[in-house]
């Protein structure tokens, strides 16, 4: 009997849909626990941006609580609208038609779900907007056991109310993850983990913490290091502002990528020196000292070394379409092959050069036998300025080294003698300083032994 065309196409179909177990395994295998938690904070921060497009986040907060048994994160950042929850927020991956928030940190539509599965086997999301409230409560083991047909991949609202009138200040989202996985329980009891999470949060969200946004971990506020560069009468950080049209970057119309670059000097720190890269306000690379930014031969640049521990570079990439930014899906590094990054990297290298030249001269000045040290002075008299307050583009400015004094090449001599003897010599010579004692005794020797005139 001949097959109909639909029977034929049924027969030729091969099932390639993933199983839930495999999917969860693949989704969570590469993400660190701390990074997965920061993904949830990113979502709150994106919520804050939707709520306050002007960028003043005073009064907005994220509170994270964790112990060996539970994980909870709560925010007052606007909540998840019901239609967003139904059609997008709980889907694995962002559907093409879903409109992202312009300039958001979220982009791929995986963060929140990945975190649930990374942490535990039961999660509850309660979210309140100005006109709705819902709860999604998922027992992951039941969900896994439910079967693999497409409708069994769905989650369900366990409570849903719409048409409400709720004050803006009472909106927000609470997420709880229970039945933590064994390795998560172990990790959550480590003090070391908590302090690492604090450090990572304070770095990742330095920009928003600067604008009065509050993040706490088990009730303790996360502090941050502001992004600062030294300025003084003699030193000015380099600042460049650029906009790259999407046509040039990806060959089709779209929002431009705006870039701000700052390079200069700051507090000397071997560990903190280097380049810092932010995408839509989120730090993705910290104190980079490798060829991912500007260092090493590959860029015809020196390797990072202690002489450069004063160096700081800050790069801010912003775009309404996060897909054009050079970040990786885990937001832990830069996509060095992206066209935008390649273009900007060249600028970063050019901005780094004069700062390194200054720092190299500073080292020479330190080891030279000179009385005036204008380079060192320019650093010790400088004050730290928030980079965000620098708005006028200009090149890096720093004092030039004092030219070597004219005349023969000089050599310093150093030796120690008993104080009483040196003091006696000083009185006999009728001079004030021990330096002069040294010089005069040398001249005396030369006059008598080498027959030189004074």
**Binder of ligand ADP out of 27, 77, 119, 356 (CB under 6 A):** 77
Q: CB 360 → ligand ADP: shortest distance, Å?
A: 44
Q: CB 39 → ligand ADP: shortest distance, Å?
A: 6
Instruction: Label the pairing between strands 311-318 and 274-279.
Output: parallel
281 sits near Mg ion (criterion: CB under 5 A) = no
Q: CB 109 → ligand ADP: shortest distance, Å?
A: 4
Please give the residue whose beta carbon sits closest to ligand ADP in the complex.
106
37 sits near ligand ADP (criterion: CB under 6 A) = no
**Binder of ligand ADP out of 35, 49, 113, 118 (CB under 6 A):** 113
Instruction: Label the pairing between strands 274-279 and 172-180.
Output: unpaired
106 sits near Mg ion (criterion: CB under 5 A) = yes
351 sits near ligand ADP (criterion: CB under 6 A) = no
Q: Which of 324, 59, 16 is nearest to 171 (CA)?
A: 59
Residues 6+ apart with CB under 8 A from 219: 63, 65
108 sits near ligand ADP (criterion: CB under 6 A) = yes
Residue given tokens 């709860």 in the structure block: 135
Which of ligand ADP, Mg ion, none sits in contact with 113, Cβ below 5 to 8 A by type?
ligand ADP
Neighbours of 333 (CB within 10 A): 14
CA-to-CA separations, 115 to 22, 107, 188, 330, 376, in angstroms, rounded: 16, 15, 14, 12, 49
103 sits near Mg ion (criterion: CB under 5 A) = no
Question: How many whole angstroms from its chain centre is CA 13?
Answer: 46
CA-to-CA separations, 151 to 21, 155, 338, in angstroms, rounded: 16, 9, 38
- Residue 286: its H or E element: strand 282-288
CA-to-CA separations, 47 to 13, 99, 175, 177, 214, in angstroms, rounded: 42, 14, 14, 20, 14
129 sits near Mg ion (criterion: CB under 5 A) = no
Which of ligand ADP, Mg ion, none sits in contact with 77, Cβ below 5 to 8 A by type?
ligand ADP
333 sits near ligand ADP (criterion: CB under 6 A) = no
Q: Extract the runs of DSSP E, i.e. beta strands, from 108-152.
A: 120-128, 132-139
289 sits near Mg ion (criterion: CB under 5 A) = no
| CA–CA separation, 176 and 364 (whole Å) | 57
CA-to-CA separations, 304 to 58, 89, 310, 356, 375, in angstroms, rounded: 38, 43, 11, 10, 20
The tokens describing 396, both together, are: 């890096």
238 sits near ligand ADP (criterion: CB under 6 A) = no
| CA–CA separation, 186 and 421 (whole Å) | 68
Binding window for ligand ADP (CB under 6 A); candidates: 26-34, 108-116, 177-185, 275-283: 108-116
Do the Cβ atoms of 63 and 216 come closer than 8 Å?
A: yes
94/440 with CB nearer ligand ADP? 94
Site track for ligand ADP across 79-98, x = CB under 6 A: xx---x----x----x----
43/202 with CB nearer Mg ion? 43
SS3 content of the chain, % helix, strand, coil (to 5): 40, 20, 40
CA-to-CA separations, 395 to 185, 263, 272, 273, in angstroms, rounded: 51, 9, 23, 20
Binding window for Mg ion (CB under 5 A); candidates: 39-47, 147-155, 182-190, 256-264: 39-47
**Binder of Mg ion out of 28, 34, 43, 228 (CB under 5 A):** 43
60/315 with CB nearer ligand ADP? 60
93/405 with CB nearer ligand ADP? 93
Site track for ligand ADP across 307-326, x = CB under 6 A: --------------------
Which of ligand ADP, Mg ion, none sits in contact with 109, Cβ below 5 to 8 A by type?
ligand ADP
103 sits near ligand ADP (criterion: CB under 6 A) = no
Q: CB 35 → ligand ADP: shortest distance, Å?
A: 12
| CA–CA separation, 381 and 230 (whole Å) | 9
174/397 with CB nearer ligand ADP? 174
The tokens describing 64, both together, are: 């994270």
Using CB under 6 A, list all residues that contact ligand ADP: 39, 43-44, 47, 75, 77-80, 84, 89, 94, 106-113, 173
Using CB under 5 A, list all residues that contact Mg ion: 43, 106, 111
């Amino acid at each position: 009997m001949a097959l109909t065309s639909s029977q034929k196409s049924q027969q030729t179909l091969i099932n390639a849909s993933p199983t839930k177990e495999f999917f969860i395994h693949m989704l969570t295998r590469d993400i660190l626990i701390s990074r997965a938690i920061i993904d949830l904070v990113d979502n709150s921060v994106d919520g804050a941006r939707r709520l306050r497009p002007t960028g003043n986040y005073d009064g907005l907060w994220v509170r994270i609580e964790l112990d060996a048994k539970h994980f909870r994160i709560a925010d007052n950042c606007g909540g998840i609208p019901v239609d967003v929850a139904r059609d997008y927020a709980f889907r694995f991956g962002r559907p093409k038609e879903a409109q992202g928030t312009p300039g958001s940190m979220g982009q791929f539509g995986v963060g929140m779900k990945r975190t649930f599965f990374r942490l535990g086997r039961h999660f509850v999301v309660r979210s309140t907007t100005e006109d709705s409230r819902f709860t999604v409560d998922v027992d992951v083991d039941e969900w896994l056991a439910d079967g693999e047909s497409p409708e069994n991949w769905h989650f369900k609202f366990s409570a849903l109310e719409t048409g409400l009138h709720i004050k803006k200040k009472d909106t927000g989202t609470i997420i709880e993850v229970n039945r933590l996985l064994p390795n998560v329980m172990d990790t959550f009891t480590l003090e070391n983990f908590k302090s690492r999470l604090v450090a990572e949060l304070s770095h990742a969200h330095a920009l928003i913490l600067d604008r009065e946004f509050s993040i706490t971990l088990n009730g303790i506020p996360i502090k941050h290091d502001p992004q600062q560069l030294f300025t003084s009468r003699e030193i000015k950080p380099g600042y460049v502002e650029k906009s790259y049209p999407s046509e040039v970057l990806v060959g089709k119309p779209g929002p431009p990528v705006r870039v701000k670059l700052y390079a200069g000097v700051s507090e000397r720190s071997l560990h903190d020196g280097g380049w810092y890269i932010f995408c839509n306000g989120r730090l993705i690379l910290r104190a980079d000292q490798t060829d991912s930014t500007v260092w090493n031969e590959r860029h015809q640049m020196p390797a990072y070394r202690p002489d450069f521990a004063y160096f700081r570079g800050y790069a801010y990439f912003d775009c309404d379409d996060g897909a054009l930014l050079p970040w990786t899906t885990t937001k832990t590094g830069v996509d060095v092959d992206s066209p935008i990054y390649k273009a900007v990297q060249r600028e970063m290298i050019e901005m780094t050069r004069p700062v390194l030249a200054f720092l190299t001269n500073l080292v020479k000045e330190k080891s030279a036998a000179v009385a005036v040290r204008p380079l060192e002075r320019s650093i010790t008299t400088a004050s730290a300025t928030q980079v965000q307050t620098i708005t006028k583009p200009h090149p890096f400015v720093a004092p030039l080294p004092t030219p070597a004094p004219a005349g023969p090449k000089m050599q310093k001599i150093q030796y120690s003698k008993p104080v009483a003897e040196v003091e006696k010599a000083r009185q006999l010579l009728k001079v004030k300083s021990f330096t002069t004692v040294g010089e005069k005794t040398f001249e005396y020797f030369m006059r008598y032994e080498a027959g030189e005139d004074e």
